[in-house]
């Protein structure tokens, strides 16, 4: 039995918490998780999230070993199930996983994130006609919407922690926004993260993005810029750098269009993330990353060549 009073007669709050929580923590956790690592990790993480001064990011870093991985570059996201806190993150992650800003007719599982009368919020729909803005639900019922309402739908690759409450996720997933946005309280942020990771059947399915949040860090434009910046650094270090003819964001986007968004080596559809993401490949490695000397191919083929 732990002491509930300190020597001076005041309550020892931390002690009461550790006295009271283990049982309820274990009961909650054992129902969901199957392996020993998770049985150790979940109570530790819960305790650290809710009973102390640590930020979510601190807690993730301290308990890194229990997660599948942590990563800080959005291009490394390899999961089709992703959970975030902010809507702008949701849009950015969807775009990265989808690989194309354009959403075509027949796109399955569009998620209604806003409110439209007679339609289920967070329900799934098929985009039946882009130009006429018609969606179908699972039963085949059609909804004829206005252009403005189109923006209330999202691709299905990223959900907010708010939307996935009550869901069980058996596939691998990534969690975003572990750096606390300024306008969110510490407790609400911890709660959102806890909701996200407790959807998983094991933490070994959970990857955590620990890089900077915010649209400007997660956008496709910044991914292209980051790659170009890396190539510039390389070219400068090798004495190759040719400022006038150096590849830029506009060239990358145009080149992607020219190749029909496919890798000319393996014909895979190029995306912004994972093994099929675009990369800038030089024809002649004794020259720099100039427009004449480069093409876009998938990152796997590019790595395979060198």
Q: Which stretch binds Zn ion (CB under 5 A): 64-72, 82-90, 124-132, 261-269?
A: 261-269
Residues in Cβ contact with 199 at an 8 Å cutoff, skipping those fewer than 6 apart: 83, 164, 167, 168, 169, 173
Q: Name which of 48 and 263 has its Cβ closer to Zn ion.
A: 263
Whether 90 and 152 have beta carbons less than 8 Å apart is answered as: no
Contact between 49 and Zn ion by CB under 5 A: the answer reads: no
User: Least distance to Zn ion from the beta carbon of 274, Å?
Assistant: 12
Contact between 116 and Zn ion by CB under 5 A: the answer reads: no
Angle at 303 between CA 300 and CA 306, to 5 degrees: 150
Give the residue, chosen from 93, 263, 280, 296, that forms a contact with Zn ion under the rule CB under 5 A: 263
Contact between 280 and Zn ion by CB under 5 A: the answer reads: no
Contact between 294 and Zn ion by CB under 5 A: the answer reads: no
User: Least distance to Zn ion from the beta carbon of 71, Å?
Assistant: 22
Q: Name which of 39 and 265 has its Cβ closer to Zn ion.
A: 265
Give the residue, chosen from 136, 225, 226, 265, that forms a contact with Zn ion under the rule CB under 5 A: 265
Contact between 298 and Zn ion by CB under 5 A: the answer reads: yes
Contact between 261 and Zn ion by CB under 5 A: the answer reads: no
Helix (H) or strand (E) holding 28: helix 13-32
User: Three-state SS for 15?
Assistant: helix
Query: Alpha-carbon Rg of the chain, whole angstroms?
Result: 23
Q: Which stretch binds Zn ion (CB under 5 A): 98-106, 121-129, 266-274, 284-292?
A: 266-274
User: Least distance to Zn ion from the beta carbon of 297, Å?
Assistant: 5
**CA pair distance 207, 268, nearest whole angstrom:** 25
Helix (H) or strand (E) holding 26: helix 13-32
Residues in Cβ contact with 254 at an 8 Å cutoff, skipping those fewer than 6 apart: none
User: Three-state SS for 128?
Assistant: strand
Give the residue, chosen from 11, 62, 266, 269, that forms a contact with Zn ion under the rule CB under 5 A: 266
Q: Which stretch binds Zn ion (CB under 5 A): 9-17, 43-51, 72-80, 262-270?
A: 262-270
User: Least distance to Zn ion from the beta carbon of 26, Å?
Assistant: 48
Helix (H) or strand (E) holding 295: strand 294-298
Contact between 260 and Zn ion by CB under 5 A: the answer reads: no
**CA pair distance 211, 47, nearest whole angstrom:** 24
Contact between 32 and Zn ion by CB under 5 A: the answer reads: no
**CA pair distance 57, 63, nearest whole angstrom:** 10
User: Least distance to Zn ion from the beta carbon of 300, Å?
Assistant: 6
β-partners of residue 144 are 134
Q: Name which of 100 and 137 has its Cβ closer to Zn ion.
A: 100
Q: Which residues bind Zn ion (CB under 5 A)?
A: 263, 265-266, 298, 301
């Amino acid at each position: 039995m732990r002491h509930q009073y300190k020597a001076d007669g005041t309550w020892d709050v931390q002690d009461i918490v550790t006295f009271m929580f283990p049982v309820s923590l274990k009961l909650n956790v054992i129902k969901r998780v199957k392996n020993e690592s998770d049985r150790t990790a979940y109570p530790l993480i819960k305790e650290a999230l809710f009973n102390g001064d640590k930020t979510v990011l601190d807690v993730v870093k301290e308990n890194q070993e229990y997660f599948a991985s942590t990563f800080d570059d959005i291009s490394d996201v390899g999961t089709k199930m992703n959970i975030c806190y902010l809507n702008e993150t949701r849009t950015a992650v969807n775009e990265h996983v989808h690989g194309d800003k354009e959403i075509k007719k027949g796109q399955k599982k569009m998620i209604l994130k806003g409110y439209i009368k007679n339609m289920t919020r967070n329900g799934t729909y098929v985009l039946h006609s882009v130009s006429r803005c018609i969606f179908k639900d699972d039963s085949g019922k059609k909804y004829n919407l206005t252009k403005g309402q189109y923006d209330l739908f999202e691709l299905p690759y990223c959900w907010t922690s708010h939307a996935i409450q009550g869901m069980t996720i058996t596939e691998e997933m990534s969690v975003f926004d572990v750096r606390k946005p300024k306008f969110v309280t510490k407790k609400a942020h911890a709660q959102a993260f806890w909701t996200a990771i407790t959807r998983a059947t094991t933490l070994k399915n959970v990857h955590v993005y620990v890089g900077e949040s915010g649209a400007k860090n997660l956008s496709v434009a910044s991914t292209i810029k980051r790659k170009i910046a890396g190539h510039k650094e390389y070219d400068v270090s090798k004495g190759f750098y040719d400022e006038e003819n150096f590849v830029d964001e506009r060239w990358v986007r145009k080149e992607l269009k020219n190749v029909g968004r496919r890798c000319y080596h393996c014909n895979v559809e190029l995306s912004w993330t994972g093994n099929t993401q675009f990369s800038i490949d030089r024809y002649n490695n004794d020259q720099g990353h100039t427009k004449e000397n480069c093409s876009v191919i998938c990152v796997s083929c590019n790595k395979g060549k060198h």
